[in-house]
Amino acid sequence: MNPTITLSWPEPHVALLTLDMPDKGANILSSAVVAELRERLDEVAAHSDTLGVVLISGKPGMFIAGADLGEFIAGLDAPPDQTIAKSQAGQQLFRRLAELPFVTVAAIDGICVGGGAELAMWCDRRVLSNDAKTSYGFPEVKLGLLPGWGGTARLPRMIGLSNAVEMITGGENIDPQEAWALGVADDVTSADTLLSAAIRLVHREAESKAYQRDRETWAAPIVMSPNELGFLGAAASAVILGQTKGRFPAPMAALELMLESQAQPLDNALRMESEAFARLFGTEVNRALLNIYFLTDRNKRDRGVDTDVRGADVTSVGVVGAGIMGGGIAAANLKRGLPTVLTDASADALRSGAEAVMKDAAYDRKTKAVNAENAMRVGALLNLGSMQHVAGCDVVVEAIVENMDIKRKVLQALESEMRPDAVLGSNTSTIPITKLADGLARPEQFCGIHFFNPVRRMKLVEVIRGESTTDETVATAVGYAKRVGKMPIVVHDGPGFLVNRLLFPYMNESLQLLMEGADIGEIEKASTRFGMPMGPLALYDMVGLDTALYAGRVMWEAFPERIHALPILPALVKQGRLGQKSGSGFFNYANRKGKAESDPYIDEFLTGYVKERRAHDRETLTWRLFAPMILEATRVLEEKLVRDVRDVDLGMVFGLGFPAFRGGLLCWADTIGAAEIVERLKPLAELGSRFEPTPLLLEMARRKHSFYGSH
Ligand code: NAD
């Protein structure tokens, strides 16, 4: 096997270790690479006249992407002793970098995260390239872990406890300028002068020996007063609790560890880190977050088709309809530098839509305001035009009213003006793509491109294949969605496609529960305590009760045996209670902040529908809400609506806000197990066929299969 790390001597007495994993886009610190590093360091150390060693990557834009997560997965069930031993072996090797009898310098261009950031941190000095790709950070908490190769011990000693706490518990990467300001980077230079800058640093340090003083400081305990520590602990815990809502244990564990270990000698701090790492490793949340990592990673590589057909490059996009969705889609295009033409049947709608697009696209997250420079840049990419103008683009997305006849007319008019090779997509949430394609001359170049609301925040896009849609069209739509920073999943046509199909049984069940006399607040809590961003009834209010009624009709017409038209929704719509947009729905929004408040009227209203008030315990409520979702997912798998079980979970997490700390719907279902699910469905059998185990579930239970293992 070709080595990953090669040793060369660009100058007498200056060693260069170049990391370049053969046949891989990224350098990963697998155990084989770590072993190679050990050998190469031995080789360098054998030269007694070495002045210093520079570590660099042979891959432009990529230093090291972290540890080998595949090895993590393989070791998830290992006993804690083994996990501790692995962490300690890494610490000892990296620590050698700070103990060699010459200076060590990391020359970083591109991504340097996780284990890679730890390796660089154990070097005496770091030079970063000022390339836009260069970023440095410790994302371990996002996987439910903390740095385990000395990060929590060395970083606070280098850049101060408070800065280190922010970097490690927040898990966000920093850019070269921030790295310079924090003292992580000793020099920032262009990528092509990186190596010479690193070598210069070797000579400077070899002469001044400044690195030797830093070695002493960075190995000693940190001196902080109890007051300072108390303040830092309280402030950081408040931020962490605000962000994690107590669901993600890793950031708090990292904080507690760093607060305790900072006053310890380095050896103790490292031992404490390994133990804390092992306590998080293999926990349910760690497994769930690793699953999310692998889902997203797979999605990045998935072209959406199983053939080697390639999609066309997308250099311009037309958007028809400048409302909530069309505006959001146009803004997403502009943010990624994609020239966009926007049109609308109403001149007023186009004007106000364009204003909203500019506000969204030019928004600067750091300053929390519209940035004038951004506005100039994105403004130059936005054109407001006619239908003909829109039709000249590579991809056209229709986002007008949800009405089949109007949509069909507009799609046909668009198609007649479009280039024969261009792709036409509809953002419909409910109308079957094959039905919309009826009347098109080139249905093979038409598909659903379903963004979620709000487009700015929701990562998911469903690319829906109609009966005639070709692989090339799908690949182009998938490529386009990725180009604008989204995660596309390809699904077959059908009522509600994937996400709304799984959402509906859950939302409908909340209405069933209301009619059985369950308390509205308790239903909401059962959902939010499970981890959903909001309860199902608040979600009805957000979507709009009229819209939900319309979409619901599509679902109960398609699946009458399990989704029933319940009278509550039409009654509220009739009364003009449409949810947030009308100021009241299941909740009242007539307060100053427009927040959901319980409404006594709803209790009164429900008495007309409820035979008797019945308390349900929270566990029952949670199961009643989520079991229909699992069952619907098994039907979706039986029908082969999705290409892979992982697409269901990706859709649920990034389209619906299903809690990431559960790893996705089916990942969570696997933690229960098919046999146990069947068991837990038995007491619900009397409620009707919607709780009947599906043939797939029964088969899985019989064969002891899991969703992830058997698909
Ligand atoms: P919207 O009412 O905010 O905007 C629709 C726009 O289309 C309006 O500006 C209207 O003037 C324009 N329009 C209507 N007829 C037109 C025509 N013939 N030609 C050109 N423009 C026309 O609606 P929206 O919420 O943005 O929804 C648009 C589409 O996206 C619908 O198909 C909807 O089902 C789908 N969708 C909506 C959401 C959501 O949460 N709002 C989510 C996903 C998908």
Are 303 and 311 spatial neighbours (Cβ–Cβ below 8 Å)?
A: yes
224: left (phi over 0), alpha (psi -120 to 50) or beta: beta
Are 602 and 545 spatial neighbours (Cβ–Cβ below 8 Å)?
A: no
Are 33 and 4 spatial neighbours (Cβ–Cβ below 8 Å)?
A: yes
SS3 455: coil
Query: At 44, phi and psi to the nearest 5?
Result: -65, -45
What mean pLDDT is predicted for residues 540-544?
93
Are 705 and 642 spatial neighbours (Cβ–Cβ below 8 Å)?
A: no
The answer on pLDDT for 8 being more than 60 is yes
**Ligand 1 center to 382 CA (angstroms):** 19
- Cα angle: 220, vertex 275, 213; to 5 degrees: 15
**Ligand 1 center to 60 CA (angstroms):** 43
To the nearest whole number, what is the mean pLDDT of the chain? 95
Q: Whose CA is nearest to atom 43 of ligand 1?
A: 452
Choose the residue to mutate in 398, 401, 411 for probing ligand 1, maximizing ligand atoms within 8 Å of C-beta: 401
Sheet holding 125-129, edge to edge: 5-11, 14-19, 52-57, 103-108, 125-129, 187-189
Q: Summarize pLDDT for 246-293 with one digit per residue, the tens.
A: 899 999 999 999 999 999 999 999 999 999 999 999 999 999 999 999
Q: Which tokens in the block code for residue 420? A: 């024969």
- List Cβ neighbours of 486 (8 Å cut-off, separation of 6 or more): 332, 451, 459, 460, 461
CA–CA gap between residue 501 and residue 503 (Å, rounded): 6
Choose the residue to mutate in 324, 426, 428, 543 for probing ligand 1, maximizing ligand atoms within 8 Å of C-beta: 324
Q: Which tokens in the block code for residue 640? A: 């082969």
CA–CA gap between residue 198 and residue 644 (Å, rounded): 46
Q: Which of 308-312, 363-367, 380-384 has the lowest mean pLDDT?
A: 363-367
Specify the pLDDT at position 568.
95
Q: Specify the ligand 1 atom closest to the Cα of 406.
A: 18
> Percent of the chain scored above 70 by pLDDT?
100
Q: Specify the ligand 1 atom closest to the Cα of 325.
A: 26
Specify the pLDDT at position 710.
62
Q: Which tokens in the block code for residue 595? A: 């927040």
Specify the pLDDT at position 172.
96
Q: Which of 166-170, 242-246, 448-452 has the lowest mean pLDDT?
A: 242-246
> Considering just the CA atoms, what is the radius of gyration of the chain in Å?
28
129: left (phi over 0), alpha (psi -120 to 50) or beta: beta
Closest CA to 508 of 452, 567, 587, 575: 567
**Ligand 1 center to 499 CA (angstroms):** 19
Task: Kindly indicate the confidence band of residue 613, based on its pLDDT and cuts at 50, 70 and 90.
Answer: confident
**Ligand 1 center to 156 CA (angstroms):** 51
Are 261 and 255 spatial neighbours (Cβ–Cβ below 8 Å)?
A: no
Q: Specify the ligand 1 atom closest to the Cα of 426.
A: 32
Q: Summarize pLDDT for 444-461 with one digit per residue, the tens.
A: 999 999 999 999 999 999
Are 524 and 535 spatial neighbours (Cβ–Cβ below 8 Å)?
A: yes
CA–CA gap between residue 14 and residue 10 (Å, rounded): 7
The answer on pLDDT for 349 being more than 80 is yes
Query: At 81, phi and psi to the nearest 5?
Result: -55, -40
* Full-model pTM: 0.92
Q: Whose CA is nearest to atom 29 of ligand 1?
A: 399
CA–CA gap between residue 406 and residue 428 (Å, rounded): 12
Strands 395-398 and 187-189: unpaired
Q: Specify the ligand 1 atom closest to the Cα of 321.
A: 7
**Ligand 1 center to 477 CA (angstroms):** 20
Q: Summarize pLDDT for 9-41 with one digit per residue, the tens.
A: 999 999 999 999 998 899 999 999 999 999 999
**Ligand 1 center to 495 CA (angstroms):** 19
Q: Whose CA is nearest to atom 1 of ligand 1?
A: 323
Q: Whose CA is nearest to atom 8 of ligand 1?
A: 323
Are 67 and 29 spatial neighbours (Cβ–Cβ below 8 Å)?
A: yes
Strands 125-129 and 103-108: parallel
What mean pLDDT is predicted for residues 342-368?
94
The answer on pLDDT for 592 being more than 70 is yes
Task: Kindly indicate the confidence band of residue 643, based on its pLDDT and cuts at 50, 70 and 90.
Answer: very high
The answer on pLDDT for 709 being more than 90 is no
**Ligand 1 center to 539 CA (angstroms):** 19
**Ligand 1 center to 11 CA (angstroms):** 65
Are 611 and 622 spatial neighbours (Cβ–Cβ below 8 Å)?
A: no
Closest CA to 496 of 410, 557, 564, 416: 557
Choose the residue to mutate in 341, 406, 426, 429 for probing ligand 1, maximizing ligand atoms within 8 Å of C-beta: 429
Query: CB within 6 Å of ligand 1 — which residues?
Result: 320-326, 344-346, 349, 399-402, 406, 410, 427-429, 452-453
Are 150 and 211 spatial neighbours (Cβ–Cβ below 8 Å)?
A: no
- Find tokens 């919309």 and name the residue: 436
**Ligand 1 center to 133 CA (angstroms):** 36
Give 3-state DSSP helix, strand, coil % of the chain, rounded to 5: 55, 15, 30
**Ligand 1 center to 405 CA (angstroms):** 14
Task: Kindly indicate the confidence band of residue 1, based on its pLDDT and cuts at 50, 70 and 90.
Answer: low
Q: What DSSP line would sit under 524-578, residue for residue?
A: HHHHHHHT-SS-HHHHHHHH-HHHHHHHHHHHHHH-TTT----THHHHHHHTT--
The answer on pLDDT for 399 being more than 80 is yes
- List Cβ neighbours of 638 (8 Å cut-off, separation of 6 or more): 694, 695, 696
What mean pLDDT is predicted for residues 296-316?
96
Query: At 598, phi and psi to the nearest 5?
Result: -70, 150
Note the helical H segments in 382-470.
387-391, 404-417, 433-437
Are 170 and 83 spatial neighbours (Cβ–Cβ below 8 Å)?
A: no
**Ligand 1 center to 625 CA (angstroms):** 30
Specify the pLDDT at position 265.
95
CA–CA gap between residue 677 and residue 484 (Å, rounded): 39
What mean pLDDT is predicted for residues 634-661?
97
The answer on pLDDT for 711 being more than 70 is no
Specify the pLDDT at position 320.
98
CA–CA gap between residue 510 and residue 518 (Å, rounded): 9
Specify the pLDDT at position 260.
96
Q: Whose CA is nearest to atom 31 of ligand 1?
A: 402
**Ligand 1 center to 426 CA (angstroms):** 10
Give catalytic residues, as residue numbers: 450
Choose the residue to mutate in 341, 342, 343, 344 for probing ligand 1, maximizing ligand atoms within 8 Å of C-beta: 344
What b/e readout covers 444-480, taking b as 16+ CB neighbours within 10 angstroms? bbbbbbbbbeebeebbbbbbbbbebbbbbbbbbbbbb
CA–CA gap between residue 197 and residue 266 (Å, rounded): 30
Are 16 and 54 spatial neighbours (Cβ–Cβ below 8 Å)?
A: yes
**Ligand 1 center to 428 CA (angstroms):** 8
CA–CA gap between residue 236 and residue 246 (Å, rounded): 13
Q: Specify the ligand 1 atom closest to the Cα of 543.
A: 40
More confident residue, 316 or 562: 316
